[in-house]
Amino acid sequence: MAGLELLEKAVAGKATASPAEIQSAVGEARFPPVEQLYDAMQLLSRDLSDDEEVGLRINAWQLENDRIRHLRQPANHPLANVDVHFSAPAITSLRRLFDLLSESDESHRYYRAEIARELGVFDTAITLFDRTRFSRLQSYAERALQLARRGDRYVANLV
């Protein structure tokens, strides 16, 4: 039984599950298959405004980052430093998001730089972080700039 289905039935009292099955189902519920979202975006993108598409792609990026952070936790776990990459649909979506984001919006400029860093395009990330002073996001931008200068593309908790 799929994780989400198991949780729904367990909550309704129609299924019993071991603690391990419940833990797995919670993980699946917390980190739904992002690939389904990318498939939906591909079908919907032609009917969305640019702002709607940006919002959807930012949500997908956040879900993907949450999944990657989850796979690298806890920090003392033997697999914490395993190189976790973005999926091919995630990379395509991030490239499209990069193109859609506006240079005139401060948070969009930050997102563009962070996308470049997470995709390993460090020269672009450094240039974007260096040439912009962020009023609200400066502390995050400075930390992300340090990561870019080190050649670190891994999803980090910048907050």
- Calculate ∠ Cα 24-28-31, nearest 5°: 135
The first and second tokens of residue 159, run together, are 């907050």
**CA 139 to CA 142: how far, in whole Å?**
5
- Greatest Cα-to-Cα distance within the chain, rounded to the nearest angstrom: 58
**Which contacts of 27-31 are long-range, i.e. CB under 8 A and separated by 24 or more positions?**
27/3, 27/70, 28/2, 28/3, 28/4, 29/3, 29/4, 30/66, 30/70, 31/63, 31/66, 31/67, 31/70
Q: Where are the domains of the chain?
A: 1-30, 33-149
Average pLDDT over residues 139-154: 87
Please check the confidence at residue 134 and state whether its pLDDT lies above 60: yes
- pLDDT top residue among 56 and 67: 56
Nearest to 5 by CA among 22, 19, 20: 22
pLDDT in tens, 66-120: 877 766 665 655 555 555 678 888 899 999 999 999 988 888 999 999 999 999 9
Residue 137, classed as helix, strand or coil, is: coil
- pLDDT top residue among 97 and 41: 97
